[in-house]
Amino acid sequence: MSRNLKNLIKKPAVISTLAFFVLFAIVAVIAFTNSPNTEDNVSAPVLADPVTRSGYGLYIDGELIAATSIEAVIGDTLESVLNARTEEFTDFKVTSASFTNMITTVYGEYEEDAFVTSADLARLLGIESESSYTTSVTNYAGVSAGVTLNLRVTVEDTATTVLESDIVYVDNSNMLATHEDVVVTEGQDGITEDTYESVFVNGQCISKKFLSSTVVVEAVDRVIQRGVLDNERVFASAEDTAVDGSPFIMPYDGGYISSYYGWRSMGWHTGIDIIGGFGVSCYGDPFWAARDGIVTFADYSGTYGLIIIIQHEDGSETRYAHCSAAKVEVGEYVEQGQVIGNIGTSGYVTGAHLHFEIRFDGQTVNPLEYVRLYK
């Protein structure tokens, strides 16, 4: 054998071949030893990268909604959505309209599924039909984007206001008191057109302020001329004696008769009106019962305002209207001269006065035929 080894040593090519096979065997053993068990190493499928392409992404409040190939599509769609959302304000003059969200367009690489048409984008932005919409926004994947497309609209609207005409009384010292006031100028109500600015967010009004007012029709005062009462029936006094033994006295002392019983410009007057004097306020002054009787009514009644009604033993009754206060109650018996209330302006009046009536069998009579105004 030593002879064979010596012969191999003398042949270098053979030695190189043997060395190669030995080295290959060692590497194979190492690889086999370190390789994992094939039963425990099932390779996971390799996912393909999503297909992307360049385009313009629409972001609302930082959330990607969708992408388009042409940037103008986003702007045009947002404008159409804005116009659709403002349709409900056709009754107003819209001065401004905008979305309050942070809206940006970013150029970049987006998944193929993110690209939508203009119609699809409008739907994602809440347009459900020509007549309905929602403020909620959906992204291209059909999932809520978690944002609300908030619309702020500023409008101008107008309102018509009626300016009621005033009644102006003119005293005429050359004219005695009559049963009818003289109308010098017929009054006419005026009209103004007021302009307001209102701000709406998502259809809800959050503020409204006055801008201006324009007079469309000027108000005209109703001017009524009345004479200064300087004849023998100037004063109304409880000290006056009754007419021909009548049991009635005047219910208020020292006042003027401002309007008599009978026809006047405003219609039939069922009693007399007593005031404290021209330029002298009688509001709050006490008045008293013109005759003994029982209170049958003490409350508010239409144009009379607060009225007190007293029924007397012969079935007649007296009425005291436009009171500011009643000092008696229904069912209470009162005596002639007893304070029963205070003069006021309740009901239909042009100023503080006491309206006084006398009625027999429910029919009004002229009170001046039952009490006199001079001693």
pLDDT in tens, 49-92: 678 999 999 999 999 999 999 999 999 999 999 999 998 898 89
pLDDT under 70: residue ranges of the chain? 1-49, 172-181, 226-245, 254-255, 264-266, 277-279, 372-375
Which class for 227: exposed (0-12), middle (13-18), buried (19 or more C-beta within 10 A)?
Answer: middle
CB neighbours (10 Å) of residue 91?
7
Give the strand order in the sheet containing 182-185.
Answer: 167-172, 222-227, 182-185
Same domain, residue pair 321 and 338: yes
- Give phi and psi for 113, each to the nearest 5: -65, -20
Residue 40 CB-density burial (10 A; 0-12 exposed, 13-18 middle, 19+ buried): exposed
Looking at the fold, whether 73 and 118 belong to one and the same domain comes out as yes
Q: Are residues 273 and 178 in the same domain?
A: no
Whether residue 173 sits in one domain with residue 247:
no
Domain assignment present for residue 44? The answer is no
Q: List phi, psi (to 5°) of 83.
A: -65, -40
Contact by Cβ (8 Å): 313, 292: yes
Same-domain status, 221 and 233: no
Q: Are residues 61 and 108 both part of a single domain?
A: yes
Residue 274: both structure tokens together? 């007593």
* Number of domains the chain is built from: 3
In a domain, 352, yes or no: yes
Which residue in 224, 234, 201 sits closest to 86, CA to CA?
201
- What is the distance between the alpha carbons of residues 335 and 348, in angstroms, rounded to a whole number? 29
> Residues 234, 322: one domain?
yes
pLDDT in tens, 270-306: 998 888 866 678 899 999 999 999 999 999 999 999 9
Mean pLDDT of the chain, nearest integer: 82
Residue 34 belongs to a domain: no
Q: What is the pLDDT of residue 5?
A: 39
In a domain, 103, yes or no: yes
Q: Say whether both 303 and 330 belong to one domain.
A: yes
Residues 326, 202 share a domain:
no
Helix (H, G, I), strand (E, B) or coil at 8: helix
pLDDT of residue 180: 54
Which one of 129, 149, 169 terminates a domain? 149
Domain for residue 41, yes or no?
no
- Taking a C-beta distance cutoff of 8 angstroms, is the pair 264, 179 a contact? yes
pTM of the model: 0.45
Q: Looking at residue 244, what DSSP letter applies?
A: G
On whether residue 7 sits in a domain, the answer given is: no
Which of 190, 225, 260 finishes a domain? 225
Question: Is residue 260, in this structure, part of any structural domain at all?
Answer: yes
Q: What is the pLDDT of residue 233?
A: 43
Q: Which of 115, 149, 183 is the last residue of a domain?
A: 149
Same domain, 57 and 118: yes
Q: Under the phi-then-psi rule, with left for phi > 0, alpha for psi from -120 to 50, and beta for the rest, what region is 271?
A: beta
Same domain, 163 and 265: no
Q: CB–CB of 318/288 below 8 Å?
A: no
User: Does 269 lie in the same domain as 216?
Assistant: no
Write down the pLDDT at residue 339. Answer: 96
Give the CATH number, domain containing residue 174: 2.20.230.10
Residue 205, domain extent: 155-225
In a domain, 248, yes or no: yes
